[in-house]
């Protein structure tokens, strides 16, 4: 992790720690949804308006949420696994960039291929969930 991300992660860890903030320690993934929506809307608004000084701040708020949720979900995932999973997904969905397929003529072809890959991933996930559910019975 970069120095800045390590620092922010340490701040989040302290907020959630035994001597941290009571309000932060009471939060759950679900209780944070309204705040994440608000921050996402604020980022979208800053992006639409091209207000670069606000965009950096709003991106920081979103990054805080990612780290906060990663800490809350520490038994299932962490920031590193989130980042690695996202990198792998982007590589799968951009085979034309990462050398596993032909190049495309335009963004329309890229988008069509992206949708095909995403649909295949969804079908595989559904198949995995169905298999897990059968094993639970």
pLDDT tens-digit series, residues 15-29: 999 999 999 999 999
Whole-model pTM: value is 0.80
Query: Phi/psi class of residue 50: alpha, beta or left (left: φ > 0; alpha: ψ in -120 to 50)?
Result: left
At 70-112, the pLDDT tens digits run: 999 998 988 999 999 999 999 988 888 887 677 788 999 889 9
How far is it, in rounded angstroms, from Cα 33 to Cα 95?
A: 33
For residues 8 and 67, is the Cβ–Cβ distance under 8 A?
A: yes
More confident residue, 136 or 20: 20
More confident residue, 129 or 40: 40
Nearest to 71 by CA among 16, 26, 21: 16
Distance of CA 53 to the CA centre of its chain: 23
How far is it, in rounded angstroms, from Cα 7 to Cα 94?
A: 31
More confident residue, 114 or 69: 69
């Amino acid at each position: 992790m970069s120095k800045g991300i390590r620092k922010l992660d340490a701040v989040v860890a302290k907020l959630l720690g035994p001597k941290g903030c009571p309000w932060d320690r009471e939060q759950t993934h679900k209780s944070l949804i309204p705040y994440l929506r608000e921050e996402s809307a604020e980022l979208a608004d800053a992006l639409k308006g091209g207000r670069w000084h606000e965009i950096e701040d709003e991106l920081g708020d979103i990054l805080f949420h990612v780290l906060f949720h990663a800490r809350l979900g520490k038994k299932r995932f962490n920031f590193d696994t989130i980042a690695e999973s996202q990198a792998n997904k982007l590589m799968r969905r951009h085979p034309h960039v990462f050398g596993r397929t032909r190049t495309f003529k335009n963004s329309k072809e890229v988008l069509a291929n992206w949708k095909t890959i995403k649909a295949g991933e969804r079908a595989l996930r559904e198949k995995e969930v169905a298999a897990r559910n059968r094993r639970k019975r």
